[in-house]
Amino acid sequence: MLTTTWRTALGPNGLPIVEGREDWPPPRPVLKLPDRYQDRGFLAAGAVGEIRRVHDTKLATELVMKICRRGATTVQRRRFEREARLTARLHHPNILPALDLGVFEDNTPWFTMPEVRGRTLREVITELLAMSPQERARPQRRVIELVEEVAQALGYAHEQGVAHRDVKPENLMVGRFGDVRVMDFGVAMDLRTPEDELDDAVVGTPLYMAPEQARGEIAHCGPTMDVYALGVMLYQVLTGSTPYEGDGVQVWHQVVEGPPPDPADRLRPGFDP
């Protein structure tokens, strides 16, 4: 499983662009885990923290533990704790929830989640786009079905007052039995407290970012951000490319200032929208 590293740049309007990317830096020394958990090894890490596999001795099962980075800023720490609390209230089979939340002896926060083994939707889409058009039809239908399942899960989250804000293939895990889970609510917005200072920055991944999100129009941000990201994924599955191309800041400029992307049926003649 991957965690998210956040790269920050300033856009022309002066707002910080906080772009998520996956990273694998080396693990840090292990803190003493709570007695309930036994360490099973390092899985992944990023600027916000790290993920380790742990054994829950009470439930006799394997989980993952997300640990906030020591020395994290106040905003990073609050986002970390908010992720746990928001996902804990989302009871949906396609959403990866937080199960337990606590702090280490040095006051570093952590929370546990179920472990999902499988592939990210990014890997599934990459494999799909490498196929010939003749081979692609049936697997493409299945990927579209997975996106539909994600849409239902996000619709439920929106009903519960939570917008993900960083929906992208890397944050969707397809399990061994074909189920898909939405994960990494690290920059999620609590729609019940829209004026929270945690939401001042432009957060997310520009390739999948809605225009109002990219412009930092917090008052206009909400569930539509996630709906837009789902549309980008479907566009990618159907045409083989995202609406805009380039690095994070280049794409951000196109989303904010550029013309609308080419319609999918122009890139794929014969496609019925």
- The full set of domains in the chain, from first to last, is 3-114 (3.30.200.20), 118-267 (1.10.510.10)
Residue 269: per-residue pLDDT: 57
Residue 142: per-residue pLDDT: 96
DSSP 146: H
What would the pLDDT profile of 116-163 be if each residue is shown by its tens digit?
A: 899 999 999 999 999 998 898 899 999 999 999 999 999 999 999 999
Active site residues: 166
Q: Which residue in 216, 200, 254, 217 sits closest to 232, CA to CA?
A: 254
State the pTM of this model: 0.84
Residue 1: per-residue pLDDT: 39
Ordered DSSP codes for 193-222? STT-GGGSSEEE-GGG--HHHHTT-GGG-S
CB 81 within 8 A of CB 92: no
Residues of the chain with pLDDT under 70: 1-30, 47, 194-200, 267-273
Residue 263: per-residue pLDDT: 81
Distances (CA, A) of 125 to 128, 172, 177, 237: 5, 11, 17, 7
CB 19 within 8 A of CB 206: yes
Host H or E run for residue 7: strand 3-10
